[in-house]
Structure 1
């Protein structure tokens, strides 16, 4: 019986050692998993912060781009208006020059009736060779 008790005690001790080693391994794996989860949480927080920073920068850049686009549209509209005004002024000037030219032509014809045939074509006088 003593042998049986020794054998049972030894088996209990071996089982306890196995249980202790298994428990230590499980605790070590748990701690590693906990540390890994904590590292992932930190990395996730860093990614969230970086994403938020980029999102804000993107919003600011888009707002700036929209503002610049609106300013460009206003500037183009201003240029278009200035161009229309310039064209109207040029048309008036051309019309005034045409009227003045016609008046001068008429005056010249009245002053020199014998040269009217030479200037009627609005070109240089014919060569008399």
Structure 2
């Protein structure tokens, strides 16, 4: 399973080590050598599980499909996107998400005063 491209349609055999990878970044992550460039690529279709070769020097639009099952394997890649969201309202408008109303405002309460924690933990 590729962590770089979510909609991988084919696996690629690296010409340098002859191992199968979902993308060039997967090869870089798991091996200690650079990916060797070549004109003839070997692919394995993830839909029909059959292997085929393509010459990349004369690649045209009809070569974007698996020759065995017509799976369109040259598509726009979907990459994982980091998402961070906060549930609730804008803190500038309503700061109840930041302020804890359960603890009363005690002027002697401080993160530097450990005596306040001792009676709560004991």
State the TM-score, normalized to the length of structure 2.
Answer: 0.24
Q: Which has the higher contact order (CA 8 A, sep 6+)?
A: 2
Q: Which structure has the larger Rg?
A: 1
| TM-score under structure 1 length normalisation | 0.23
Higher strand content, 1 or 2: 2
- Structure with greater helix percent: 1
